[in-house]
């Protein structure tokens, strides 16, 4: 593949709801560019993609780096990676359905990152397609920013092309030649064309005060003014063009290339790209593990250029890496390129310490590019290997997979003894488990997630712990008197011994015995917290006393002291920050109340959404990702964190205690 300058490169994300036709779009663009002689045949295109993919296409003296980004919410980490690399986006909309959450999310994400984009309404060749309905729903939600460029020419099986309402011509697709011909506009579509064109002109008027004045004074725009207004509006994200087509029939894909080239920004339009700078700098936005190439690192080049066999510095990790060969992906196959230039997307392999988000540069003092922000886990799942001997292998495999996917976490909960995955949803969890099997040969099962309860005391006690054992020769003797009470700290130990009733040399053993006792409470064997122990008296034996004897005596005192000081069970309380559309407030708040939770605050959020701050017991939040998705039809998301422990009372506490005795 030849090297292109920045003005002839386009880095474009392909976004949309799962099943809208993103993969068919990529295959159709490859077909249009002559990379394959076979057009996509997957009519439903319902396969869920769980990882972004890069598709470099050369067409009409330009290089197009298309990044196919997963549309399912469980793979939001891939969305963040993809959006970090692109300068523009195509949002694929299924013309046979109502506006979907995937479309809304794609528009919100590109809005929040100021990424210029246009909408491709797909499947117009389907009898169920309703282009006007989609336009109406888009205009209702996003106003005059929506600028329809096209009127479909024909519907269902009769769909043959489109009317361009900017330059007022028709394009008809010839499936036998894989060509689009510019032809005369049909004479029987004037009303439809005029209606759609009026929407377009409203959007143009919004881009410039001078154009707004002309529009209100009834003065027609020139074609040049329309193009100038639309181009500027797209670049500053105030205009969202809408075109139509059918990826399966390759209708609209020639126009898609034109739209990307004419309206979406090149790297030269991106102020962050510095082609004139001598220093090479790039950011790794995606990492994969390949059985042949090893670690594969996808990079967006921000400044300078780099050729093969060059040493670079990892700014984040203060290490050196060597760039061997440089690649891209064409038709899902890796292809070598001679160098990476500012604004381009390239691929490296076999880095040692480099991870996703890292900045590489030929100048070790270069500032790091802002790291990619990945979503926090929405769902937690406990897992274990089917073969207990695979435990260490599982840990190693999870660490390797985290290099590919920073949107999941894992840890061993020392209190419950479980390995816990933090993921974006059930499908994300299943994908991680499948990859462990496919890449590392580890079979995994999910198990019930345990709540890390704790125990404490509400009252006070004053007890004796005495350990005396005589079995010939030296015996064992330790005797302590300890007062127990509740404190805010995890554990406080004090001693007020006078007169040497417990020698100073044994006091550390008493404290150690108490600390070891904290691991297991008297109600259900959970760790103990918020307890104060004051050693104030005791006795010892000149011969039989030892550190071990006083540790045992302290343990006896601890158990007795807890039982006499009103022991209680504590459950973890989570704080949830929930972002939802306004219409779901009542349902979400009602659901929180059902979970023994409470709403503690609410405020307006961006994009007409609301932020709810709530608290609920951890045991009630294990499936909240699925429940919130169901309540909001996938339009809500949340983050949560542990804030404190509270007493678990009554039947609920007894149920937990009883379950531990089985």
Residue range(s) of every CATH 3.30.230.10 domain in the chain: 455-565
> Predicted confidence band at 50 (pLDDT cuts at 50, 70, 90)?
confident
Give the model's pLDDT for residue 554: 98
Q: What is the pLDDT of residues 72-102, one digit of tens each?
A: 888 999 999 999 999 999 999 999 999 999 9
Residue 459 CA: distances (Å) to CA of 272, 483, 520, 537, 576: 62, 11, 18, 21, 31
Give the model's pLDDT for residue 74: 86
What is the arithmetic mean of pLDDT over 191-218? 93
Write the CB contacts of 245 (distance below 8 Å, at least 6 apart in sequence). Answer: 120, 121, 122, 124, 162, 251, 252, 253, 255, 256
Residue with tokens 């209702």, as numbered in its chain: 140
Tokens of 189: 């579509």
Q: Which helix (H) or strand (E) holds 307?
A: strand 305-307
What is the arithmetic mean of pLDDT over 26-34? 93
Taking all residues of the chain, what is their mean pLDDT, rounded to a whole number?
94
| E-only strand ranges, 149-235 | 150-153, 161-164, 169-174, 179-183
48 vs 498: CA distance, rounded Å: 73
Give the model's pLDDT for residue 141: 92
- How is the beta sheet containing 531-539 ordered, strand by strand? 461-469, 476-486, 531-539, 491-495
More confident residue, 488 or 175: 488
Q: What is the pLDDT of residues 98-119, one digit of tens each?
A: 999 999 999 999 999 999 999 9
> Among residues of the chain, what percentage have pLDDT more than 90?
88
| E-only strand ranges, 325-442 | 326-330, 333-337, 339-341, 345-349, 359-361, 379-385, 409-413, 418-423
Give the model's pLDDT for residue 310: 96
C-alpha angle 522/523/529, rounded to 5°? 70
| CATH superfamily label, 6-269 | P-loop containing nucleotide triphosphate hydrolases (3.40.50.300)
What is the arithmetic mean of pLDDT over 148-156? 94
Q: Which CATH architecture has domain 569-661?
A: 2-Layer Sandwich (3.30)
What is the arithmetic mean of pLDDT over 356-370? 97
The DSSP letter of residue 405 is -
Helix (H, G, I), strand (E, B) or coil at 480: strand
What is the arithmetic mean of pLDDT over 335-359? 97
507 vs 503: CA distance, rounded Å: 7
For the chain, what is the largest distance between any 2 Cα atoms, rounded to a whole number of angstroms?
115
**SS3 per residue for 27-54:** HHHHHHCCCCCCCCCCCCCCCCCCCCEE
400 vs 385: CA distance, rounded Å: 16
What is the arithmetic mean of pLDDT over 126-131? 96
Helix (H, G, I), strand (E, B) or coil at 381: strand
569 vs 647: CA distance, rounded Å: 6
Which of 177, 370, 342, 219 is CA-nearest to residue 273?
A: 342
| Fold that domain 281-304+326-361 belongs to in CATH | Elongation Factor Tu (Ef-tu); domain 3 (2.40.30)
Residue range(s) of every CATH 3.40.50.300 domain in the chain: 6-269
> Predicted confidence band at 140 (pLDDT cuts at 50, 70, 90)?
very high
Tokens of 543: 């011969």
What is the arithmetic mean of pLDDT over 173-186? 82
Residue range(s) of every CATH 2.40.30.10 domain in the chain: 281-304+326-361
What is the arithmetic mean of pLDDT over 515-542? 97
Give the model's pLDDT for residue 477: 96
Domain 455-565 has CATH 1.10.3720.10: no
Residue 346 pLDDT more than 60?
yes
| CATH superfamily label, 379-447 | Elongation Factor G (Translational Gtpase), domain 3 (3.30.70.870)
**SS3 per residue for 418-487:** EEEEEECCHHHHHHHHHHHHHHHCCCEEEECCCCCCEEEECCCEEEEEEEEECCCCCCEEEEEEEEEEEC
Tokens of 346: 């390239």
Q: Which helix (H) or strand (E) holds 80?
A: helix 76-83
Residue range(s) of every CATH 3.30.70.870 domain in the chain: 379-447
**b/e 123-135 (16+ beta carbons within 10 angstroms → b):** bbbbeebbbeebb
Residue range(s) of every CATH 3.30.70.240 domain in the chain: 569-661
211 vs 218: CA distance, rounded Å: 11
Helices and strands, number each (H, E), in the chain: 15, 34
What is the phi/psi pair of residue 60, to 5°?
50, 55
Give the model's pLDDT for residue 108: 93
Q: What is the pLDDT of residues 297-309, one digit of tens each?
A: 999 999 999 999 9
What is the phi/psi pair of residue 148, to 5°?
-70, 125
Q: What is the pLDDT of residues 470-493, one digit of tens each?
A: 776 678 999 999 999 999 999 999
> Predicted confidence band at 368 (pLDDT cuts at 50, 70, 90)?
very high
Residue 44 pLDDT more than 80?
no
Residue count of the chain? 662
Q: What is the pLDDT of residues 213-242, one digit of tens each?
A: 999 999 999 999 999 999 999 999 999 999
Tokens of 423: 């993921």
Residue 417 pLDDT more than 80?
yes
28 vs 473: CA distance, rounded Å: 90
Residue 38 pLDDT more than 80?
no
Helix (H, G, I), strand (E, B) or coil at 183: strand
């Amino acid at each position: 593949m030849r090297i292109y300058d920045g003005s002839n490169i386009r880095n474009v994300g392909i976004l949309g709801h799962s099943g809208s036709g993103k993969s068919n779009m990529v295959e159709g663009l490859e077909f249009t560019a002559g990379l394959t002689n076979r057009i996509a045949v997957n009519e439903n295109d319902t396969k869920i993609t769980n990882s972004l993919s890069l598709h470099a296409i050369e067409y009409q003296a330009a290089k197009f780096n298309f990044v196919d980004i997963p549309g399912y919410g469980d793979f939001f980490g891939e969305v963040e990676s993809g959006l970090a690399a692109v300068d523009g986006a195509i949002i694929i909309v299924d013309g046979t359905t109502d506006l979907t959450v995937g479309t809304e999310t794609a528009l919100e994400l590109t809005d929040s990152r100021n990424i210029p984009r246009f909408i491709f309404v797909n499947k117009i060749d389907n009898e169920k397609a309703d282009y006007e309905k989609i336009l109406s729903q888009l205009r209702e939600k996003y106003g005059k920013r929506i600028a329809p460029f096209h009127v479909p020419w024909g519907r269902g099986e009769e769909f043959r092309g489109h009317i361009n309402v900017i330059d007022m011509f028709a394009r008809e697709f010839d499936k036998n030649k894989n060509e689009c011909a510019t032809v005369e506009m049909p004479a029987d579509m004037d009303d439809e064309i005029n209606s759609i064109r009026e929407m377009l002109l409203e959007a143009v008027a919004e881009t410039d005060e001078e154009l707004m004045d002309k529009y209100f004074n009834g003065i027609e725009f020139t074609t040049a003014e329309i193009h100038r207004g639309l181009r500027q509006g797209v670049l500053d994200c105030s205009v969202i063009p809408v075109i139509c087509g059918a990826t399966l029939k390759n209708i609209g894909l020639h126009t898609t290339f034109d739209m990307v080239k004419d309206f979406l920004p090149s790297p030269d339009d991106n102020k962050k790209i510095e082609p004139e700078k001598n220093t090479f700098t790039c950011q790794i936005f995606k990492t994969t593990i390949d059985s042949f190439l090893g670690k594969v690192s996808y990079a967006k080049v921000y400044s300078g250029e780099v050729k093969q066999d060059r040493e670079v510095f990892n700014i984040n990790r203060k290490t050196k890496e060597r760039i061997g060969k440089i690649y891209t992906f064409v038709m899902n196959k890796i292809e070598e390129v001679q160098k990476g230039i500012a604004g381009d997307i390239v691929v490296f392999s076999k880095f040692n310490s480099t991870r996703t988000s890292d900045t590489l540069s030929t100048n070790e003092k270069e500032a790091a590019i802002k790291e990619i922000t990945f979503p926090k886990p929405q769902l937690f799942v406990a897992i274990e290997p089917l073969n207990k001997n695979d435990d260490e292998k599982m840990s190693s495999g999870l660490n390797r997979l985290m290099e590919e996917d920073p949107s999941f976490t894992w840890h061993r909960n020392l209190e419950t003894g479980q390995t816990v995955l933090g993921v974006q949803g059930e499908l994300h969890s299943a994908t991680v488990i499948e990859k462990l099997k496919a890449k590392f040969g580890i079979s995994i099962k999910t198990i019930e997630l345990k709540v890390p309860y704790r125990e404490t005391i509400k009252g006070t006690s004053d007890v004796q712990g005495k350990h005396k054992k005589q079995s010939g020769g030296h015996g064992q003797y330790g005797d302590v008197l300890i007062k127990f009470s509740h404190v805010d700290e995890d554990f406080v130990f004090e001693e007020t011994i006078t007169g040497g009733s417990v020698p100073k040399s044994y006091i550390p053993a008493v404290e150690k015995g108490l600390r070891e006792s904290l691991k297991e409470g008297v109600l259900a064997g959970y760790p103990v917290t918020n307890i104060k122990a004051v050693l104030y008296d005791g006795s010892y034996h000149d011969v039989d006393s030892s550190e071990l004897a006083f540790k045992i005596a302290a343990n006896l005192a601890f158990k007795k002291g807890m039982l006499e000081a009103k022991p209680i069970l504590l459950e973890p309380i989570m704080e949830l920050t929930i972002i939802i559309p306004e219409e779901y407030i009542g349902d979400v708040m009602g659901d929180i109340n059902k979970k023994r939770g409470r709403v503690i605050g609410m405020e307006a959020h961006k994009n007409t959404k609301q932020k709810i701050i709530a608290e609920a017991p951890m045991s009630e939040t294990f499936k909240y990702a699925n429940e919130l998705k169901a309540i909001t039809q996938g339009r809500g998301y949340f983050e949560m964190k542990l804030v404190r422990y509270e007493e678990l009372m009554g039947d609920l506490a007894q149920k937990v205690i009883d379950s531990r005795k089985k």
